[in-house]
Amino acid sequence: MQWWRDAVVYQIYVRSFSDADGDGIGDLDGIRSRLGYLELLGVDVLRLTPFYTSPMADHGYDVADPRDVDPVFGDLVTFDALVADAHKHGLRVTIDLVPNHTSSEHEWFRAALASTPGSPERARFHFRPGRGAGGMKPPNNWTSAFGGPAWTRVRDSTDGPGEWYLHLFTREQPDLNWTNPEVWADMEKTLRFWLDRGVDGFRIDVADGMSKPEDLPDMVAHDGPDPRFDHDGVHDVHRMIRAVVDHYPDAMVMGELGVRDGERFALYLRNDELHLGCRAVLADAPFAAERIREIVQQSLAAVSSVDATPTWAYSGHDLSRPVTRYGGGAGGVARARALALVMCALPGAVCLYNGDELGLPDVDLPDELLQDPLWSRCGRTERGRDAYRVPLPWEGGPPGYGFTSGAPWLPMPAEYGLASVAEQLEDTESTLSLFRRAIELRRAHGGVTDTTLEWFGAPEGCLAFRRSGSTLVCALNTSDVPVPLPPGDILLASGPLLDGDLLPPDTAAWLA
Ligand code: NOJ
């Protein structure tokens, strides 16, 4: 059964979702206690961000043991209970896998540091001698996604300057060498470990990473091809992953893909690679109907060439929250709600990020509380991603708003209290109520396998479409003036409509 084709995927940033033990950090038991909420929201599948043993240099994307749970989040017994309970609530569970790199605290990397150049221990990573006099310069000019060179030099056995190792992210995240069969075998072991525990699939972190060109060539001009990502060899890795996953009926693999080019993107979705490929294209769009339409069309064209299904996302734990991106305040909320209706009307899978269903904005945090490595690694020029990782407000007052009985790991502002789940469940006009209704209607109008769209004529700054074979029409107004709605019965609107069936600016509506 291809359940994932139309699925609503709900991303749980584990650290910020719900804290059961009062240490101020979300955990697996916290998620367990909120399964009723997730069922009520109506999502199909959860995606948990990494909860594995980790020193948390990148909040869990630095994995020290991919087959265990970090004590801050729980243990394997809790994990098993979470999967079993989620299934009882009709929710599937997928988990983040991080195959591109490990943590520098992983036993492999420690062994590599304790070994000599050319050793099998070092061959699991990318160790190279430096360039120039005394090997002082990094082996190539690659930069890390978090700023600075993608190489760090280690000490040799006499404590003198030694080789350099590659890390596309922080220096605590050494890249694995995917030409090494041990790396493949270990990934297979990890996949089976979690599939045997009942997970319904994976989200692959940096799915266009892993494979590197053999000679590690320098990066050229800023807009030239980037040798760090999307190297052809990566497809063999995905074929291996898929071959393992296919032994488990109904399991799904979704990849995080930064690949911009539609044809290159589609290669990952061939029928022996990823089921779903996620790039938050809708987050790239300004709130402008023409541009949104263009992005939707390009995305549909890309996946149709390989007969795959599209995946839509407008947010995530690496992206500013939609409300803030669209200008903040009441206008930002209105625009985010409107785009949510557009996204939920599109064919394919939809990825929501926890808190978007509450219309949460980014939080302005004081410098001294920022924790994202981006902030410190970029010489405090980029504020990093903490602003959209602030814990979720559930009910009650400060400091924890039901997220924790202790002190939340990032402070929660009073405006989060006003937007809590408890408040919004009571309010039929709330963003939470809008999402619940949209997901419910989407399901009621589902069952359509066609992934093409019919576009209707629409005034400037507006768009209207229907999924081929469906009766649901979605109209969006991004212009400054009210426009007439297309004909049909109004099923749902992202904001109040005006007399005479006019669709106001910053509003979307669904009609039958
Ligand atoms: C993508 C993840 O979403 C991000 O949070 C992380 O920092 C990088 N991959 C590195 O793992």
Note the pLDDT tens digit of each residue in 311-334: 999 999 999 999 999 999 999 999
Catalytic residue among 205, 273, 372, 506: 205
> Residue 417's pLDDT band (boundaries 50, 70, 90)?
very high
Domain presence at residue 497: yes
Ligand 1 proximity of 353 Cβ (cutoff 6 Å): no
Q: Distance (Å, rounded) from C-alpha 222 to C-alpha 229?
A: 14
Q: Please name the residue whose Cα sits nearest to atom 2 of ligand 1.
A: 205
Residue 353 corresponds to which amino acid?
Y
With beta carbons less than 8 A apart as the criterion, state whether 466 and 454 touch.
yes
Residue 332 corresponds to which amino acid?
G
Residue-level pLDDT at 134: 94
Residue 70 reports pLDDT greater than 80: yes
Residue to mutate (ligand 1; options 169, 173, 228; most atoms within 8 A of CB): 169
Rg (CA), the chain: 23
Angle at 454 between CA 450 and CA 457, to 5 degrees: 170
**Helix and strand tally (H, E) in the chain?**
16, 20
- CA of 62 from ligand 1 middle (Å) equals 9
Share of the chain above pLDDT 70, in %: 100
Q: Please name the residue whose Cα sits nearest to atom 6 of ligand 1.
A: 61
Atom of ligand 1 nearest to the CA of 101: 11
Ligand 1 proximity of 61 Cβ (cutoff 6 Å): yes
Domain presence at residue 397: no
Q: Please name the residue whose Cα sits nearest to atom 8 of ligand 1.
A: 61
Range of the domain at 479: 448-511
Provide the H-helix boundaries in 115-248.
181-196, 234-245
Residue 277 reports pLDDT greater than 80: yes
Q: For the chain, give the mean pLDDT.
A: 96
Share of the chain above pLDDT 90, in %: 91
Atom of ligand 1 nearest to the CA of 385: 5
Closest by CA to 339, choosing from 435, 212, 442, 452, is 435
Is 423 among the residues known to form the active site? no
Ligand 1 proximity of 58 Cβ (cutoff 6 Å): yes
- CA of 209 from ligand 1 middle (Å) equals 11
Domain presence at residue 208: no
> Residue 377's pLDDT band (boundaries 50, 70, 90)?
confident
- CA of 35 from ligand 1 middle (Å) equals 25
Domain presence at residue 330: no
- CA of 452 from ligand 1 middle (Å) equals 31
Residue 235 reports pLDDT greater than 80: yes
DSSP class of residue 130? Answer: P
Q: Distance (Å, rounded) from C-alpha 496 to C-alpha 338?
A: 11
Ligand 1 proximity of 206 Cβ (cutoff 6 Å): yes
Kindly tell me the burial class for residue 38, based on how many C-beta atoms sit within 10 Å of its own C-beta (0-12, 13-18, 19 or more).
buried
**Where among 120, 140, 166 does a domain terminate?**
166
Specify the number of domains making up the chain.
Answer: 2
Domain presence at residue 114: yes
CATH for 138: 3.90.400.10
SS3 315: coil
pLDDT, tens digit (0-9, with 9 covering 90-100), for 330-376: 999 999 999 999 999 999 999 999 999 999 999 999 999 999 988 88
Query: pTM above the 0.85 mark?
Result: yes
Angle at 431 between CA 425 and CA 433, to 5 degrees: 45
CATH for 478: 2.60.40.1180
Residue-level pLDDT at 447: 76
Residue-level pLDDT at 376: 83
Residue to mutate (ligand 1; options 318, 351, 353, 377; most atoms within 8 A of CB): 318
Atom of ligand 1 nearest to the CA of 61: 11
Catalytic residue among 256, 356, 362, 372: 256
Domain presence at residue 122: yes
Tell me the pairing of strands 502-503 and 483-484: antiparallel
Is 256 among the residues known to form the active site? yes
**Where among 150, 166, 182 does a domain terminate?**
166
- CA of 239 from ligand 1 middle (Å) equals 22
Torsion of CA 384, 422, 439, 298, to 10 degrees: -20
Residue-level pLDDT at 1: 79
Atom of ligand 1 nearest to the CA of 100: 11
Query: Residue range 408-429: average pLDDT?
Result: 97
Domain presence at residue 470: yes
Ligand 1 proximity of 169 Cβ (cutoff 6 Å): yes
Residue-level pLDDT at 499: 83
Domain presence at residue 454: yes
Residue-level pLDDT at 446: 82
Residue 223 reports pLDDT greater than 80: no
DSSP class of residue 365? Answer: -
Query: Residue range 8-20: average pLDDT?
Result: 98
Q: Distance (Å, rounded) from C-alpha 442 to C-alpha 440?
A: 5
- CA of 7 from ligand 1 middle (Å) equals 23
> Residue 473 forms beta bridges with which residues?
466, 511
